[in-house]
Structure 1
Amino acid sequence: MVVRTINGLNEIVGRVISVLAIIFAAIIIYDVVLRYVFNEPTRWAFDVSKQLFGFYFVLLGGYALRHKAHVRVDILTEKLGRGGQRIADLLGYAIFFFPFAWVFLTRSWEFAERSWAQGEVTYGAIQMPVYPLKMAMCVAAGLLLVQGVAEVLKIVFDRQEASE
């Protein structure tokens, strides 16, 4: 139940956020057409597409972990049996993943909190608020952390999802 809920949450977030790729691609195409066909570049397209790409990139971490799309170094574990691979995966999560995810969560929270308090904005052609993107980093860290919990539970209970 817990694993299914976490997987479902990251699946929904991943699918919703993936639409941003279409939006920022459309903005870039719009800007290129205005710039090179009509000689009327936009002042906002670069900053907006950069912000959207930031949301896209950070918020897909949990989704990527759920679908095993992160880089893995299996050279050492490929020769181990299933039990050895499970132990290596558990150690990897305990030693590397969870400490990283915790630092990412706590530091991004401080980062977002400071940005919100300052009302931080970009200093580009247009002044866009920065704190939503920094808050997205914190949300992304939380999603990544809970997906890590789901992955560990799958290993512990030796359970594979039907969709994988």
Structure 2
Amino acid sequence: MNKTALSPIYNTLDWVLAWAARIGAVAMVALIAITMYDVLTRYFSIPKFAGLNSTMVQESEYWAHGILFALVMGYGLTKQVHVRIDLLRDIMPRKVQYAMEIFGLLIFLIPFAYIGTIYCYTYAVKSFVDGEVSPSTVGLTNIWLLKSTLVMMFGLLLFAGVSQFLKAIDGLLGNLSTENEARVLGGGH
């Protein structure tokens, strides 16, 4: 692997994104457990414990969904799991592909993720200040926690965009390893 001045930055960002995704995997396990618990208690008349009710359990399911997506979205971008339309781009020279990647990241993804982070931060703070709770009288409280996951999602997406941008710069300069080249340009499906 070629070592450049940029590689420690994007390797660190990728490490943070990988750890966030591992935590997101725990949310997936929680989602499975909560869904199984919901099905068992609802269809087999098993009593709920600890003062939980059906609304709380169902709201917990979408909380787990939210946490899962928030924590894995940025990591997914670095692993090229997003949809691409590579038909025209793949016939272009490598340097043009990197230039297109840089353009897309600078014009679309990074500003979008930054704006999303700022707006969601104010959204979560307002929820915290207002003491927002579920619209259901028997639902969950502290909705600001769920809304804070939106801040994490856009923040991690911003990290991923910066990581991909730095890798694309290295690629444009001819300093990117083969492994990272596949993580920037995708392809080879």
TM-score of the superposed pair, with normalisation by structure 2: 0.80
Counterpart contact for 1:154–1:160, Cα < 8 Å: no
The answer for the alignment partner of 1:20 in structure 2 is: 27
Question: What is the deviation of 1:66?
Answer: 1.4
C-alpha distance in 2, partners of 1:123/1:16? 28
For residue 135 of structure 1, what is the amino acid of its counterpart? S
* Pair 1:59-2:71 in alignment: yes
Question: What is the deviation of 1:39?
Answer: 6.0
Question: What is the deviation of 1:162?
Answer: 4.1
The answer for the alignment partner of 1:35 in structure 2 is: 42
For residue 16 of structure 2, what is the amino acid of its counterpart? L
TM-score of the superposed pair, with normalisation by structure 1: 0.91
* Same amino acid, percent of matched pairs: 27
Q: Which residue of 139, 147, 150 corresponds with 2:160? A: 147
Task: Please list the CA deviations of residues 33-60 of structure 1 after superposition, one character each: whole Å capped at 9, or x if unmatched.
Answer: 1211226574221011111111111221
Alignment of 1:57-96 (within 5 A): 57-96=69-108
Three-state SS of the structure 1 residue aligned to 2:45 is coil
What is the Cα-based RMSD across aligned positions, in Å?
A: 1.8
* Pair 1:114-2:126 in alignment: yes
* Pair 1:129-2:136 in alignment: no
Long gaps (5+) in structure 2: 1-7, 184-189
Q: Find runs of 4+ consecutive structure 1 residues off by over 6 angstroms.
A: none
Q: When the two structures are aligned, how many residues end up with a matched partner?
A: 164
